[in-house]
Amino acid sequence: MVKENGRSEKRVGALRAEELRRSCESGCLDFDSTAELAAPDQVFGQERAINAIAFGADIAREGYNLFVLGEPGSGKRSLVRQLLEQRAAAEPPPSDWVYVYNFAEPYKPNAIELPAGQGVRFRDALSQMVDELRTALPAIFEGEEYRVRRHAIDEKFQGRQQAAFEVLENRAMEKSIRVIRTPAGITLVPVRNNELVKPEIFEAMPEAERRQIEADIQELQRSMVQTFEQMPRLEKERRQSLRELNREFANFAVREIMDEERAAFSEISEVRDYLDMVQADIINNVQMFVQSQEMQEASELPGGAQQGGDGMAQNPLGNPFHRYEANLIVDNSQTKGAPVVDEGKPTVQQLVGRVEHIAQMGALITNFMLIKPGALHRANGGYLLIDSRALLMQPFAWETLKRALWNRETRIESPADMFSMVSTISLEPEPIPLRTKVVLFGEALTYYLLSAHDPEFQSLFKAVAEMESTVDWTPESERAFAGQLAAICRAESVRHLDPGGVALMIEQAARHAADAEKLSIHMGHIADLLREADYWAHKAGAELITAAHVQQAVDMREERIGRIREKSQESITRDIVLIDTDGARIGQINGLSVLSIGDLSFGRPTRISARIGIGAGRVLDIEREVELGGPLHSKGVLILSGFLRERFGVESPLALTASLVFEQSYGGVDGDSASSAELYCLLSAIAEVPIQQCFAVTGSVNQHGDVQAIGGVNEKIEGFFDICKARGLSGKQGVLIPSANVKHLMLRQDVVAAVREGRFHIHAIDSIDQGIEVLTGIPAESINARVAARLSAFVKVRKSADGETGERPGERQ
């Protein structure tokens, strides 16, 4: 079956047992256990994908993010992670990022970039600075020097106020009027003989005297108003003097402490600018540090109080000192190399971060300390791995990721903010520059759909890596496969395999690939089978996994998922679904199909029947007429009509009508793998030659009568074999397959044994003529002659019925 170069020979006729399954000779594996094998440098068979991944990771151009194509379980994610972690380990760790309070626009926190490891230091330094100021500032303002100077300012302005009142009182005394201070205010009362004039005495005075006193009081009241109007100005001057005094003392303490922080971060201009703003804000809001009612009164500045009030309003979570802290959202102090972040739940908030809120007294409140990072923040300067299906299933996540990649920045926003669904005021954190290489994983269908329907996709994901599903089965690939098994054993902490176990694992890989010349490198399937074989080795108390344990794992998996297959076979063996495996019938044949349900795929025979009559050359597909036939099946039936016209309708018209149907088929039918069986059935009905029911047939056919390859050949053969075995193998039963499918045969051992013993047969054919001879036992020339004769008879009857004579053959269609 297989030449030395690994390429199969073309075989026609009955196949030998040796051609039905390729074996891996364990004697060619020169080791006693896979424990002796060194771990491979990389996953074998994926050189193309590895080179593409390396290219995508290395190229530092805009838009060269990476999309990795591969079947689920192909190992693409683990391979990419392994390669990127190796690469990232040699790269420098990226910057730290912190959010700080924006003193100019409190609702828009500022982002500051710091060298790796400096974020923690900066955060802790600010916290320590606040603690020191909360201790140092009260001590300064409670000191003797401050009290003396403050007292001097107070006395100075009190003296000025008192002097203004003394001037007023002296002017009043000159006019025999006294200024009296009462709880209700200031009152002017006339005086006679150093005694206050009572109201009744005042009323008894001569009118001229009374008018003079009233005029003097009015004049003094105007002077008093002028004096009072000077009080706010004097108070303002006092407060200004206190402010300057507070600034002087506060500036001394704050500058001394903050100069240490400036020196520590002197090379980072953004930090220096921020510390300058912190210093100015602390000096303007020193009352937050000095808990003194008297100090607060003295510090109620037009600008300072308003700024402080805004600060308190922007920090409603209870601690006004939060404004001087730093929210460290990206900390790379412990990161070795560039980060490789695998995001399993790529929602909008998981990607770009979020602003959390706290419910307080029926309201949702927040501040910049509640900003939380997303995966794009954590992966900034490194690599972000995302499953494309999971990403596309999350609302707005795909558009959010594209926007971040286009703008090269990570902007924290919610879907409600993006689409203006709410009008509440919230934080608007400053965007952070994005320097992340994004890697998407998905199936080929996802990639091609995105390429076709999203015009921005290929501009953002220009690097593509596609995982191989199979490799050529060669001695080199056998050794590489064994090394990969050794690596899985170490990674999964399972028992190692002996050469026999490795050989059977290789054969199972070929069987999974459905090709005797290929090995499946579907890492998920290989690892699962290895784990299950290890389980049975453990149950048996074995030190190594042998071929028996691998076979047991295969058999038990088949048993676990085989309920539907068994029920399907039972319906046939109990004659509920009618399938003949002996005898001969005209216009009836066993076709083969494959049913796939989850991880289970199995072959199932189906009876196909044909009925013919005189007509206009139409082959009626009953499946299509009742809308159970798919487009590929309908195409196959139309090809039959082309074959009949080409072979039998050149000299005379086809006066034939025929109907084809899959008996007891209640679901959809698609694919053209039964087209050869339908043609055999149709030829049998026309020639009135019975077909041996001990055979089942698969293969598609073209208009020239060539039998073409189909899929699922192993499952189809085994499905019919199981039915025959259940009824008893007669030695006559068998399956006809296209010769092009011989290279794909990796049949079960029991099927191979039955063929070796002559109890079952598999025939490889190239043409309909070869197949019809096997099925009927009659030479193809005889069958074709009978078909031609029968069709000629149909033409004569048709012409007679139509009353037509003398027309040349082929004139009527």
Highest-pLDDT range among 293-302, 397-406, 408-417, 623-632? 397-406
Helices 475-492 & 499-513 angle (0-180, nearest 10): 110
Distance CA 440, CA 23 (A): 38
pLDDT category of residue 290 using cuts at 50, 70 and 90: confident
Distance CA 496, CA 489 (A): 6
With 80 as the cut, is the pLDDT of residue 50 above it? yes
pLDDT tens digits along 650-707? 777 777 788 888 887 766 555 577 888 889 998 998 899 999 999 999 999 888 889 9
pLDDT tens digits along 513-548? 999 999 999 988 999 999 999 999 999 999 999 999
pLDDT tens digits along 332-370? 999 899 999 999 999 999 999 999 888 877 777 888 899
The pLDDT value given to residue 228: 66
pLDDT category of residue 421 using cuts at 50, 70 and 90: low
The pLDDT value given to residue 666: 62
Tell me, rounded to whole angstroms, the distance of Cα 802 from its chain centroid.
Answer: 69
Distance CA 675, CA 345 (A): 46
Please give the single-letter amino acid code of residue 442: G
Q: How many residues does the chain have?
A: 813
Q: Which of 610, 701, 711 is nearest to 663 (CA)?
A: 610
Distance CA 109, CA 429 (A): 5
Distance CA 649, CA 663 (A): 29
Distance CA 772, CA 575 (A): 27
Please give the single-letter amino acid code of residue 789: A
Q: Which residues contact 148 (CB under 8 A, 6 or more apart)?
A: none
Q: Which residues contact 799 (CB under 8 A, 6 or more apart)?
A: 655, 805, 807
CATH of 567-802, one of 1.10.1740.10, 3.40.50.300, 3.30.230.10, 3.90.1150.10: 3.30.230.10
User: How many CA atoms within 13 Å lie on the side-chain side of 498?
Assistant: 11
- 423 belongs to the catalytic site: no
Q: Say which range, 153-162, 288-297, 450-459, has the weakest mean pLDDT.
A: 288-297
Q: Residue 571 has which token pair?
A: 């319906």
Q: Which residues contact 751 (CB under 8 A, 6 or more apart)?
A: 20, 717, 718, 721, 760
> What is the sign of the dihedral through the CA atoms of 164, 170, 175 and 179?
positive
Name beta bridge partners: 519: 471
pLDDT category of residue 183 using cuts at 50, 70 and 90: low
With 50 as the cut, is the pLDDT of residue 725 above it? yes
Collapsed DSSP state (helix, strand, coil) of residue 671:
coil
Q: Which of 76, 518, 716, 743 is catalytic?
A: 716
Per the model's pLDDT, the better-predicted residue between 399 and 285 turns out to be 399
Determine the average pLDDT of the residues in 97-112: 93
pLDDT category of residue 420 using cuts at 50, 70 and 90: low
Q: Residue 35 has which token pair?
A: 């424990």
Distance CA 253, CA 797 (A): 120
CATH of 66-94+335-466, one of 3.40.109.10, 3.40.50.300, 1.20.120.420, 3.30.70.20: 3.40.50.300
Q: What is the CA radius of gyration of the chain?
A: 47
Collapsed DSSP state (helix, strand, coil) of residue 42:
coil
Taking a C-beta distance cutoff of 8 angstroms, is the pair 364, 374 a contact?
Answer: no
Q: Which run of H or E residues covers position 503?
A: helix 499-513
Q: What percent of the chain has pLDDT over 70?
A: 86
The pLDDT value given to residue 255: 81
- 716 belongs to the catalytic site: yes
7: left (phi over 0), alpha (psi -120 to 50) or beta: beta
The domain ranges of the chain are: 33-42+470-561, 66-94+335-466, 118-321, 567-802
Q: Which of 489, 112, 509 is nearest to 330 (CA)?
A: 112
Taking a C-beta distance cutoff of 8 angstroms, is the pair 408, 356 a contact?
Answer: no
In terms of C-beta density within 10 A (0-12 exposed, 13-18 middle, 19 or more buried), how is residue 452 classed?
Answer: exposed
Determine the average pLDDT of the residues in 163-186: 71
**CA torsion, ordered 488, 494, 495, 499, to nearest 10 deg:** -30
pLDDT tens digits along 751-780? 999 999 999 999 999 999 999 999 999 999
Determine the average pLDDT of the residues in 587-613: 88
Taking a C-beta distance cutoff of 8 angstroms, is the pair 351, 376 a contact?
Answer: yes
Does the predicted TM-score (pTM) go above 0.75? yes
CATH fold of 33-42+470-561? Helicase, Ruva Protein; domain 3 (1.10.8)
Collapsed DSSP state (helix, strand, coil) of residue 460:
helix
Please give the single-letter amino acid code of residue 5: N
Name beta bridge partners: 761: 734
Q: Which of 33, 477, 673, 767 is catalytic?
A: 673
In the block, tokens 């230091």 appear at 121
Taking a C-beta distance cutoff of 8 angstroms, is the pair 380, 436 a contact?
Answer: yes
The pLDDT value given to residue 793: 84
Strands 700-701 and 695-697: unpaired
Q: Residue 675 has which token pair?
A: 């087209």
pLDDT tens digits along 740-752? 999 999 999 999 9
Taking a C-beta distance cutoff of 8 angstroms, is the pair 627, 593 a contact?
Answer: no
User: How many CA atoms within 13 Å lie on the side-chain side of 535?
Assistant: 12
